[in-house]
Chains A and B, each alone.
Chain A
Amino acid sequence: MTAGTFGGNAVTCPACGGTIELRAAGFTVNLACHHCGSLLDVSRPEVALIRKYKRAKENFALELGKRGTLFGQEWEVVGAMRRKDQITIWQEFLLFNPYLGYRWLVACDGEWQFGTMLADRPQGPRDRVYWRSTPFTRMGRDQTTSTTAVAGEFYWRVKAGDTATATLFQSGDTMLSREVSAGEENWTQLVPVPEAEVEIAFGLRRRSLPRRKAARGPMLFRPSIGMEQDDLGNMFKLALAVSIFAAIAMAVIAGPTTAASTLIQVPVGGQIAPVKVGTITVRRPWQFVTIEADANRFENRWVDLEYNLVDRSSEQSIDAFGLVEHYAGTDSDGAWSEGSRSGDTMFGHVPRGTYDVYVSGSAHGWPVDPYTIDGWGSVETINLSIEASTGAMSWGMWWTLVIALFAWPLTLLWWRFRDK
């Protein structure tokens, strides 16, 4: 322990020799020297050096030693801390008036709160507490907070790296904060203060304010302290509601439906010339046309299908392709199969008009085509039912929307569990 000197209301830093004004003499326990950042113990007549530092001044939004009036009382800024949890970083200022004791000013996400320590402890179960007969509802889960930087004077042993478990409770504008550290439980009442009032009272170093949400790109969705959980349920509800609404709206917009169908036989190892499936009509300016091919039972075959939508008035053709394939076999892992005996093909952005639908195709065996004529002298064919219709919606687009909608809340949820 290096002893410094303690005279009147000024102390000499035992680390750098600088003079530090002691603003809350008799109350202050720890002091961070504003010249060198060293942490001092001033609770006894001889000043003790706790930890020596040599570093630049920490920048806080309020200057230590500033005096101003808040809620009709004069306060002096005596201490400043930078704290963080997994979601945000904020600043806390310790205000002092020898006749009134200590108060807190908390700056987080562009909002300010004025804090008063409670002598009486709120009572109640985990999610709801009563303080002076007002019920307060828990906001979010417990957060582990840590102190990353300190400056000025504190009435307890403070140091960078201190951690506490914080829980917030809310009733209207008022919040109660419970902090538990080293077995000690402290409650603070927090009420909002307009930033303008803080600025009038103490002046603001805006460049040192904790960064606002908007400055943070993906952290745009970062909540104010304690609010990080509250809105997650609502986000999921909103995503679900929009998903359901979109499914209905997309189905309604996609209509009306017309359909045509036929049956075709495709020889394996051969092909068929275009067959007319039927006529369908696109009744809206643009619609989807879907063609569904369903085959009978086959194995280790594939069928290439080509569809043509021929516009009756312009004779223009829109082409698309479909594939039906199914394979099965046995290997060291047992039986396997893959593929599907039916296939959907979708034409997007088909303009209004009447279309004749044609299908042509070829079928093949895997790994090689079988003999085209079996022992009975008949050709192996694959039977397919082809149905063309207008008025379907694109479920692919709907699923894309659903994934995009749920991406944010799921990311937030993932963050939370990763933090745990």
Chain B
Amino acid sequence: MPVRGASLPYATCPYCQTLILRQGLDIEDVGKVAVLPFDVSPIQLGTTLMAEGRSMVVVGRVRWAWTGGSWNEWLAMADSGAQYWLAEAAGMFMLTAEWPQLLDRAEVRAFAEGGTLTPGDVIEVDGRQLFASDIKQVECLGSEGDLPIPTQIGMKMTSVDFRSASGEVLSLQRDDRATTAWFGDSWDLVSLKPGNLRQIEGWTVPGELR
């Protein structure tokens, strides 16, 4: 199986559902990954996107669940090697890039050290006010492709989304190992100029997406 770049140390074997950790030349069996349930997402591994002048390709996916439902997070790699998460919920997309400088903020550091955030908490990023809107405990339902994080069955994390009025989003994700901050914007599929979309049985790809 192909294993891409050292920045994505984890890979899910599509044949045996084993999560593999690659460290240097060693390959380690981390555990089993659940089979992803069938869905009708238009994205697939290999889908290309174009956002803010950068072209990227989807290389992995994690499916997360919380008490209110479940959704896909697609990992996209830009030509430069930068990683983006494309969150897909109710047919809307949020594309975020890692924003490590935010981890120095006092309020983010407090969260990283186990503190709690409440809906309505404000954080300013790039001169814009974002409000904590979605605070949830999430659990991994399964994964595919190459990923920067381990995604064994039952892997849990705390996810907090901050949103601005114009659609920008900041996502803080805290698991046992680390806290990461991701900042980006809301998109619809058309404006992501996708290529190599999945052919979904019974549906034709709309003209503006071809």
Stretch at the interface among B10-18, B77-85, B97-105, B197-205: B197-205
A44 and B65 contacting across the interface, CB-CB below 8 Å: yes
Select which of B34, B167, B197 is within 8 A of A120 by beta carbon. B167
Cα A333 to Cα B72 with chains together (Å): 81
**A26 with B38, Cβ < 8 A, contacts A97-B206, A101-B188, A121-B165 known:** yes
A99 and B203 contacting across the interface, CB-CB below 8 Å: yes
Contact-residue size bin, chain A (C-beta under 8 Å from the other chain) = 20 to 34
Q: Mark A81-118, 1 if CB is under 8 A from B, else 0.
A: 00000000000000011111110000000000000010
Cα A26 to Cα B165 with chains together (Å): 27
**A27 with B39, Cβ < 8 A, contacts A43-B70, A120-B186 known:** yes
Residues of A within 8 A of B41 (CB): 26, 98
Residues of B within 8 A of A161 (CB): none
Q: Mark B8-32, 1 if CB is under 8 A from A, else 0.
A: 0000000000000000000000000
Residues of B within 8 A of A43 (CB): 65, 68-70
A183 and B119 contacting across the interface, CB-CB below 8 Å: yes
Q: Please report A residues at the B interface, Cβ cutoff 8 Å.
A: 6, 8-9, 24-27, 29, 43-45, 73-74, 96-102, 117, 119-121, 123, 155-157, 183-184
B contact patch SS: loop
Select which of A45, A73, A119, A156 is within 8 A of B69 by beta carbon. A156
Residues of B within 8 A of A45 (CB): 34-35, 37, 141
A157 and B203 contacting across the interface, CB-CB below 8 Å: no
Cα A383 to Cα B65 with chains together (Å): 96
**A117 with B92, Cβ < 8 A, contacts A9-B38, A97-B206, A98-B200 known:** yes
Q: How many whole Å from A295's CB to the nearest CB in chain B?
A: 75
Select which of A8, A29, A101 is within 8 A of B91 by beta carbon. A101
Cα A34 to Cα B36 with chains together (Å): 26
Contacts A29-B68, A43-B69, A121-B165 aside, 13 further interface pairs with beta carbons under 8 A come to A6-B38, A9-B38, A25-B39, A26-B37, A26-B72, A29-B70, A101-B90, A101-B91, A119-B188, A120-B165, A120-B167, A121-B166, A155-B69
B165 and A157 contacting across the interface, CB-CB below 8 Å: no
Does B149 reach chain A (CB closer than 8 Å)?
no
Cα A246 to Cα B14 with chains together (Å): 85
A97 and B203 contacting across the interface, CB-CB below 8 Å: yes
Q: B207 — nearest CB in chain A belongs to which residue?
A: A72
B40 and A98 contacting across the interface, CB-CB below 8 Å: yes
Cα A406 to Cα B67 with chains together (Å): 52
B37 and A123 contacting across the interface, CB-CB below 8 Å: no
B40 and A157 contacting across the interface, CB-CB below 8 Å: no
